[in-house]
Structures are given as C-alpha cells and as structure tokens.
Amino acid sequence: MAGTLSLRAHHLLCVFGFRGLGYGPAFVTNMRHTVERFFGDGAVEVVLVSGCDDVCAACPHALRGQCSAEQGGDGAVRTRDAEVLRRLGLSEGCRTDSSSLAQLVVDRIAPEQLSTICAGCQWLDAGYCQEGLRHRRV
C-alpha cells in the first residue's frame, strides 16, 4: 500500500461528500488530496484516530489538536466519531485499507442516517455527503 492516511471516523463520511468546497483554498487542496488518496487506484492504509487527522491539517478550526468548529466544540465531533465507529464495528487505532473501509461505510451507513450521525454539522444541509453515499463511490 502507498502510505498511510490518518482519519477521524466521521471523516470517513466527509470523503464521500467532498465537492471541492471548504474553509479556504488550503483546506480544499488538502481535502482533495486526501479524497484522491482514499479513493485512488491503489489502496492506502487508513488508521482511525481521535483528535486531529490528515483532513484537519489545513483546517482553521484545528486548535492545539482539537476541533473548535461546531456547537459543543470537540465534544460534538468526538460524539460523531464514536457513533461512526459503533456503526462500522471498529475502534480507534484500527488500521485497514481504504477500499475495504469505503465498502464498509457503504454497507453499514445509509445516507438517511447522516441526519442523526452528523446533526449540527454545517455541511449537512448541503446534502453532499448523503448524495455521495447514495452514488456509492466505491
């Protein structure tokens, strides 16, 4: 496998919904690179982490290793991470290849469930993540 991606569990949903938008040019470039690696031709190893990950590397809301972007701050994000891990039957620190992980997301998380899992996310109302899951980008 070509390298390793570090991802928070809820970012497994975000990669399906990425449409070239974000918090600024640096974030968009970083996210595009992350999505291309995740869905690329060769599987990449993914390690599931708590705290800031490769997506957060260019995010203006990443402060001292924690997310400050949303209501409830890092606690809301950690709740999302825990819910995604529970639904996937995985745990923090798990390492697996991106193609298997993408298939697991598609198999275990329905687009309609995002309204519950991602409640409070500023991107939820755009519908990009739900649409990405519907089109099953795997």
Please write the tens of the pLDDT for every residue from 47-71.
999 888 888 777 766 667 666 665 4
Q: Which of 24-33, 91-100, 128-137 has the lowest mean pLDDT?
A: 128-137
pLDDT at 138 over 50: no
In contact, 54 and 14? CB cutoff 8 Å: no
> What radius of gyration do the chain's Cα atoms show?
14
Q: Which 8-state DSSP code applies to residue 58?
A: G
Q: What pTM was estimated for this model as a whole?
A: 0.87
Give me the DSSP letters along 99-128.
HHHHHHHHHH--GGGHHHHTTT-TTGGG-H
Strands 66-67 and 45-49: unpaired
Q: Which helix (H) or strand (E) holds 97?
A: strand 95-97
pLDDT at 119 over 70: yes
